[in-house]
Structure 1
């Protein structure tokens, strides 16, 4: 009995000591992208809250699955985090025939951001409202196109949701990344895109692209006067959620400690401002709230993928 009590005491001390060495935050995409930039904003302040360095490590490839698999297989000790985007648990499970990990092996800790998107069109279309775009698309079924960062990307599924709710048919042009999609859209080879606000802000300001609506239920201070898409298309609500996950077996005490540190991180005015400069809203929640949000998003996007008849890759 004395031995068991001693072991319980030692285990309690071990948990209380967390963290006692650097933590890795895996970003499943290449350096320099939106997820990478935001992850580094979070990591800088999270390190101060935890009292240990939080080292951002990029493991890009396979739409984020390589990095996600690495975290799913990591020791469940709180020292390996995944900066998770919608693909790893919300959409790719319904788009891939096989995955290198079980999405359920990643445990939600806290949301860190919401990335509002905006529907933009090339000015050559001559439309200024969502309804005008819908009317034009109905007159020319299949003739207008929308560009995306690739099959399964948020910009792809946003476009599919637009078609479903508006009852229109567009041609989808997937690219291998956001940069090429933006280049063709601005250059006139693309007609429509629905992607995160930060990507298109400068092109909206200089008049090369026309914003028709935002994907949030309310207007955004970032784009004053641009209405929510839901005013024309009730039910349209599509903003990528970014959050932190850990291996499934990570102890509850560590998950709660990480969640508290992330909540304190996201509450910092400097963090909120740095994210806002990228067109991103800093938002935190509890592990239970994030798990509930994850389930709702999985259901919603599975339905969109099925209705759009997107073949599994």
Structure 2
């Protein structure tokens, strides 16, 4: 209900009615700064057709992966602010990477926010053959065997990596990082028993239901509607923590407000379509659809948490 209220409020913004005069005059390119098939890419492709119908121009999804999402984000930051090039992005290039890299080649704060599209928890999964069924048992085992338990990541500086660092800092334990190239590889490592745990994407709930992994907790402060039987980290005996996987839409710096508002209108309407919301829910996410100002405040609020985690763990990517 909260998410639908946000979408309804966004649709009612007076600025959107004034924005109807702007319409694109050629295809809109949405850059996804990650590889094809991942959640960011799936969300982008779900929205492409309804947005194209609303704006009267094709929406072309372009995957431009590299440098932790910096490559594609930089391309949008350097594009003309005319509404025809956008980025559908995640936490790493927008909030986290500024604390990891010496030079991004762009200023995340200069990008024009349009809307926060979706949010969801990370799902803490464990190998089902281990005697670890709760976060309390994970903490207790890690304290008895410091550094012996391995945890999987799909890249240094990613949200799952930093979420695990946040957990370790607050629980006062130390696990050993094993890095894989892609999320599916990291998930498979938990299934095989090569690693003990992984702070995974919510889609891994399908493997938990099949008995291939054990779901210990979600990383959000409240239980998640798609799988309410899974407790939060704190409810399961771990430390208090709040980590969301989220995806938002942004335009190049200095994009005029009427252009931002018209794009906002089209994407919010697409999010509100039942078939889109249903598919997003099946991926383990919730639709949001807030205002550009609210999205900007959301990103600003995320920054101090990740800066603190990165500095405490002394993580740096050259």
TM (norm. structure 2) is 0.90
Whether contact under 8 Å (1:114, 1:241) holds in the other structure is: yes
Closer/same/farther in 2, CA of residues 274 and 120 from structure 1, 3 Å limit: same
Instruction: Supply the distance in 2 between the matched residues of 1:294 and 1:219 (Cα, whole angstroms).
Output: 22
1:15: Cα distance to partner?
8.3
Instruction: Please state if 1:209 is matched with 2:249.
Output: no
Instruction: Please state if 1:47 is matched with 2:52.
Output: yes
- The higher radius of gyration belongs to 1
Instruction: Please state if 1:281 is matched with 2:286.
Output: yes
**Aligned pairs for 1:182-261 within 5 A:** 182-198=187-203, 200-231=204-235, 232-233=237-238, 235-261=240-266
Whether contact under 8 Å (2:205, 2:215) holds in the other structure is: no
- Identify the match of residue 19 of structure 1 among 13, 17, 24: 24
TM (norm. structure 1) is 0.91
Whether contact under 8 Å (1:154, 1:195) holds in the other structure is: no
Whether contact under 8 Å (1:230, 1:237) holds in the other structure is: no
Instruction: Supply the distance in 2 between the matched residues of 1:174 and 1:108 (Cα, whole angstroms).
Output: 32
What CA deviation, in whole Å up to 9, does each residue of 1:255-287 have, x standing for no partner? 111112222221221111011121121111000
**Aligned pairs for 1:29-68 within 5 A:** 29-68=34-73
Closer/same/farther in 2, CA of residues 15 and 281 from structure 1, 3 Å limit: closer
What CA deviation, in whole Å up to 9, does each residue of 1:105-163 have, x standing for no partner? 32211011113211111122211111111111110111111101110111101111110
Which stretch shifts more, 25-34 or 76-85?
A: 25-34
- Identify the match of residue 301 of structure 2 among 296, 299, 302: 296
Instruction: Supply the distance in 1 between the matched residues of 2:73 and 2:244 (Cα, whole angstroms).
Output: 21
Q: Post-superposition, which runs of at least 4 consecutive aligned residues in structure 1 deviate over 3 A?
A: 232-235
Whether contact under 8 Å (1:81, 1:245) holds in the other structure is: yes
What CA deviation, in whole Å up to 9, does each residue of 1:83-118 have, x standing for no partner? 111111111111112212222332211011113211
Instruction: Supply the distance in 2 between the matched residues of 1:298 and 1:14 (Cα, whole angstroms).
Output: 31
Instruction: Supply the distance in 2 between the matched residues of 1:278 and 1:241 (Cα, whole angstroms).
Output: 12
Instruction: Supply the distance in 1 between the matched residues of 2:198 and 2:19 (Cα, whole angstroms).
Output: 50
Instruction: Supply the distance in 2 between the matched residues of 1:193 and 1:305 (Cα, whole angstroms).
Output: 19
SS at match of 2:234: helix
Instruction: Supply the distance in 2 between the matched residues of 1:150 and 1:103 (Cα, whole angstroms).
Output: 21
Aligned-CA RMSD value: 1.7
What CA deviation, in whole Å up to 9, does each residue of 1:11-47 have, x standing for no partner? xx99824222211101111211221111101222222
1:233: Cα distance to partner?
4.0
User: Which one has more relative contact order, counting CA pairs under 8 Å at least 6 apart?
Assistant: 2
What CA deviation, in whole Å up to 9, does each residue of 1:181-215 have, x standing for no partner? 122111110101112110x1222012121111111
